[in-house]
Amino acid sequence: MPYTNLLIDEQDGILILTLNRPKAMNALNTKTMLELQHFFAEDAPAREGLKGIILTGAGEKAFVAGADIKEFLALDTQKGQDMAQRGQDVFFLIERFHKPVIALVNGFALGGGCELSMACHLRIATENARFGQPEVNLGIIPGYGGTQRLIQYLGKTKATELLLTGDMITADQALAWGLVNYVLPAGEAMDKAKAIIGKIAKKGPVAIAKTIEAINAYFQHDEDGFDREVKAFGQTTGTEDFKEGAAAFIEKRSANFTGR
């Protein structure tokens, strides 16, 4: 699939995925969502040697400033539900991806942009980043998981305040409240994201994928996270990676994981 709104740059096994609609503040329109869906469902899983993905926005103003409101004008109840479901399905692909996905939030992350950042496994913000779910200002609510994931990260009290007021918070507030992992100057954020993925890439690939599964299970109402952990633990103990990791520990050397 040729990409129009996504730029892909591979650097030493790390894919830097840039949402490329800077004139529209990288707003999430239908085409962008379809491209994200294809990328995470078809393209990225097929890439050999992939260490992880860094997701960011083009330009200096916005990560993603929201959804494309122009497309909302034609919605009715059913079309609105369909749009929200498609958006949630795409973001679940990101949240459940088997390699680390880091959001490098380099400006406004509002509405769908905040929801997109929360679907990633980790978040690094530049000092000018701003986060918020301002949908109530338009007379609607978040539809791509914002009412659920914001509570997961901030807790009910703070999340309820932000969801009902539509207020934005600064990068420093997001860090203090647990929404982001790091706040760094713009010139340092990408290097930090690469360093984190590089560190994770040295671990057992199967173990990383199973850890992501177990973490996600904690928030899935139809699954017992503890049971998922038990099954995932058992699955990892049967891998070649575990045998290699245990042997390397005993022999006091670095492990050579193969992902099997």
Strands 52-57 and 14-19: parallel
Handedness of CA 260, 42, 102, 138 (dihedral sign): negative
**Is position 115 annotated as part of the catalytic site?**
yes
Q: What is the DSSP string of 129-141?
A: -EEE--GGGGT--
Phi, psi (rounded to 5 degrees) for 244: -70, -40
Token pair recorded at residue 82:
């369909």
Token pair recorded at residue 231:
């099954």
Edge-to-edge strands of the sheet including 130-132?
62-64, 108-110, 130-132, 168-170
The phi-psi region of residue 120 (left if phi > 0; otherwise alpha if psi is between -120 and 50; otherwise beta) is beta
C-alpha dihedral (59, 148, 175, 62), degrees to nearest 10:
10
**Is position 223 annotated as part of the catalytic site?**
no
Alpha helices, H only, 6-155? 30-38, 77-95, 112-119, 146-154
- Strand blocks (E) in the chain: 6-11, 14-19, 52-57, 62-64, 101-105, 108-110, 122-126, 130-132, 168-170, 182-184
d(CA 91, CA 187): 28
Catalytic residue, chosen from 35, 42, 48, 115, is 115
Catalytic residue, chosen from 35, 95, 135, 213, is 135
d(CA 216, CA 93): 12
* Catalytic sites, residue numbers: 115, 135
